[in-house]
Amino acid sequence: MPRVTLTVNGKQHTVEVEGRTLLVEVLREKLALTGTHVGCDTSQCGACVVHIDGISVKSCTQLALQADGANILTIEGVAAADGTLHPMQEMFREHHALQCGFCTPGMVMTAIDLVESHPAGLSEKEIREGLEGNLCRCTGYHNIVKAIAAAHPLMHATAAE
Amino acid sequence: MYDFAYQKPGSLADAVKVLSGDPDAKALAGGQTFIPVLKQRLNKPSTVVDLSKLGLSGITVSGDKIVIGAMTRHAEIASNADIKAKIPGLAHQASLIGDEAVRHRGTMGGSLANNDPAACYPSALLALGGTVKTDRRTIAADDFFQGMFTTALEQGEIITSVELPVPQKSAYEKFRNPASRYAIVGVFVAKFASGVRLAITGAGQGGVFRHTAMEKALSANFSPDAIGGIVTSSDDLNSDIHASSEYRAHLIGVISKRAVAKAA
C-alpha cells in the first residue's frame, strides 16, 4: 500500500493510504484530527478547509497522495501551544460568529488565509466574496464577516511585531 | 470512489508514457472537477497520473503573447499583474471560477482539457484565438474544442501551456447559476486590430462557440448598440431546470452587450 508523509500542525506523520484516500480521511481517521469537518463531500460547503503550504484548500477534494511532503495546518494547529487562541478564533468568540459551530473550523481556516493574503485591508464585500466557498447552515454570516473584519488589524499587528 | 493506482511522474515523457500505454489511465491536474467525478463513480481509472511535478506552472509575457503553463492555478491567473494589465478579461474571468479554495487548486490546463460546456476558460481561449501547446504539437483554439467534454487531444496527450495573443481590449461577463456558480451564459469578447472575436460558454449544446454575427457587427462598430438588434436562435442551445434554451438565447444578447460595454 502506498505511504504518504505529511507534516500536520508541525508534526511529521507517515501513514499508509490507498490511491483514492482523501486528505480529509487521513486527517480525521488516521490522525484523529476531527476538527476538520466533512459537511457535503461535494466541494461545496468548505467545512473541510485546511491550509496546504499556507494556502486554503478543500481537503475533501484532494487526494492524500497529492499532499505528500506538504505542510498542513488544521484548526487544531491554529491556537498557540499554551492554548492562547489565534486572533481569528478570538474574534469569532468575541463577535459570536458561530451558532451550531459545524462550519466554524472551515470558516476560520478560510478567513485566516483571506486576511493573510490581503495585508492592505479587506472590504466587507471582499470578505463576503472570500467566503463564497464556505456555507453556514445557520446563516450566521453577518457575525462571521464582523469577526473577520475585526481580526484583520489584530493579525497584521501581530505579524508586524 | 473506486480505488486506483496513483503516480506522480517527474518528467513529461514519463507522464505521456503512462497515459499513452493505458487507455484507462487518467491525468490529474488540479482535481477540482476530476475528484468530484471520481467520488460519483462516473469514472473508473486504473491509474491516476498527477501532473503537478512536471514543471508546467507559470505565467510569462513573450512579445505580444502571454504564455500560461497548463498547471497554473486560477488564483495565480486572477492576481497576476501582467494578465491584469494586458488581458483584464481573463484575470476577471479567473476570479469568478468556483470559490477561493477551488481557485487555489484548479488549473487552466485541466479546465481546457475537460471542456465542460459551462466552464469559463474555453470562452477566453476561443475569443482570444489562442493556441494550446501539448507534449507533441500546437493546436489552434478554433480546432481544439470539438463539442461537450470533447477536445482534439489524443489519448495520452498532455497540455503543457496555452499561448494567448494580447488584445487591444477584452472583457468577460458571466451570468452565474447562483448555487453552482457555473455560467448559465458567459461571454468573452476580445478586440484586436484585425477584428473582434466573441465566444459564448454555458449556453451551447456543443459547448463553447463563437457568435459570428456579433463579431461582424462589433468589428465594424465596437459598441453595445452595434449588437442590440442581433437575435440569437435558441436552436442548439441548452435547456435545463435552470434556464430554457429561449432564455439562454435572450441572455446571450444581454450578457454580450454588457461584456462589450465593459471592454469598450
From B165, B194, B216, give the residue that closes a domain. Answer: B165
Q: Does residue B139 share a domain with residue B158?
A: yes
Structural domain count, chain A: 2
Could you say which of B112, B146, B165 is where a domain stops? B165
- The total domain count for chain B is 2
Determine the Cα–Cα distance for residues B216 and B155; give it in Å rounded to an integer.
Answer: 36
| Phi and psi torsions of B158, nearest 5° | -115, 130
Radius of gyration of chain B (CA): 18
Q: Say if residues B135 and B160 touch (Cβ distance below 8 Å).
A: yes
B161, B204: one domain: no
Domain boundary among A14, A42, A77: A77
Same structural domain, A142 and A109: yes
Residue A49's beta-bridge partner residues? A58
Asked if A79 is an interface residue toward chain B (Cβ–Cβ < 8 A), one would say no
Q: Give the distance from residue A99's alpha carbon to the nearest chain B alpha carbon, in angstroms.
A: 23
CB-based contacts of A121, cutoff 8 Å, min separation 6: A152
Q: Do A94 and A40 reside in the same domain of the chain?
A: no
What does the pLDDT read at residue B156? 96
ipTM of the complex: 0.95
Tell me if chain A has a CB within 8 Å of the CB of B235: no
**Residue numbers of chain A with a pLDDT score lower than 70:** 158-161
CATH code of the domain containing A100: 1.10.150.120
Minimum Cα–Cα distance from B48: chain A residue: A19
Between chains, do B50 and A2 touch, taking CB under 8 Å as contact?
no
Q: Chain A: nearest CA to B55, how far in angstroms?
A: 15
**Record: contact B32-A55, CB cut-off 8 A:** no
Could you tell me the three cell numbers for B258? 454588457
A68, A126: one domain: no
C-alpha cell at B52: 503537478
pLDDT of residue B180: 81
Contact list in A for residue B8 (CB cut-off 8 A) is 65-66, 68
Residues B61, B76, single domain; the answer is: yes
Question: B38–A20: do the CB atoms touch at under 8 Å?
Answer: yes
Report the run of H or E that residue A55 belongs to, with start and end.
strand A55-58
Residue range B63-85, pLDDT digits in tens: 999 999 999 999 999 999 999 99
CATH assignment of the domain containing B175: 3.30.390.50
Tell whether B126 and B183 lie within a shared domain. Answer: no
CB A89 within 8 A of CB A49: no
Same domain, A14 and A67: yes
Q: Are residues B176 and B147 in the same domain?
A: no
- Burial class of residue B69 (count of CB atoms within 10 Å of its CB; 0-12, 13-18, 19+): buried
Residue range(s) defining the domain that contains residue B115: 5-165
CA–CA separation, A32 vs A131, rounded Å? Answer: 27
Q: Which of B165, B183, B201 is the last residue of a domain?
A: B165
Q: Is the CB of A51 inside 8 Å of chain B's CB atoms?
A: no
Regarding whether B182 and B113 lie in a shared domain, the answer is no
On whether any CB of chain A is under 8 Å from the CB of B176, the answer is no
Q: Specify whether the CB–CB gap between B210 and B204 falls below 8 A.
A: no
pLDDT for residue A157: 86
Q: Which of B103, B85, B2, B10 is nearest to B51 (CA)?
A: B10
Same domain, B161 and B173: no
CATH number at residue A8: 3.10.20.30
Q: Residues in chain B with pLDDT < 70?
A: none
In whole angstroms, what is the distance from residue B244 CA to residue A155 CA? Answer: 48
CA angle in degrees (0–180, nearest 5) for A63-A55-B10: 50
Task: Name the domain boundary from A57, A77, A97.
Answer: A77
Residue A16 forms contact with B (CB below 8 Å):
no
| A156 shares its domain with A131 | yes
Q: Is residue A103 part of a domain?
A: yes
- Looking at residue B143, which CATH number applies to its domain? 3.30.465.10
- Radius of gyration for the alpha carbons in chain A, expressed in angstroms and rounded: 15
Q: What's the Cα-to-Cα distance from A116 to each of A34, A107, A131, A153, rounded to whole Å?
A: 24, 14, 14, 11
**What pLDDT shows up at residue B122?**
98
Q: Is B206 on the interface with A (CB under 8 A)?
A: no
What phi, psi does B133 have (nearest 5°)? -100, 135
User: Of A20, A43, A77, at which residue does a domain stop?
Assistant: A77
On whether both B132 and B183 belong to a single domain, the answer is no
CA distance A6 to A12: 6
CB contact under 8 A, A19 and B2: no
Confidence (pLDDT) at B178: 84
CB-CB neighbours of B63 under 10 Å:
8
Domain interval for residue A45: 3-77
Q: Do B105 and A61 touch (CB under 8 A)?
A: yes
SS3 category, A8: strand
Q: Which of residues 50-79 of B touch A (CB under 8 A)?
A: 50, 52
Contact yes or no for A49 and B101 at CB 8 A: yes
The three-state DSSP-derived secondary structure of A69-93 is: CCEEECHHHCCCCCCCCCHHHHHHH
What's the pLDDT score for residue A158? 65
* Partner-chain residue, chosen from B5, B100, B105, that has the shortest CB–CB distance to A19: B5
- Write down the residue that cell numbers 497529492 correspond to: A66
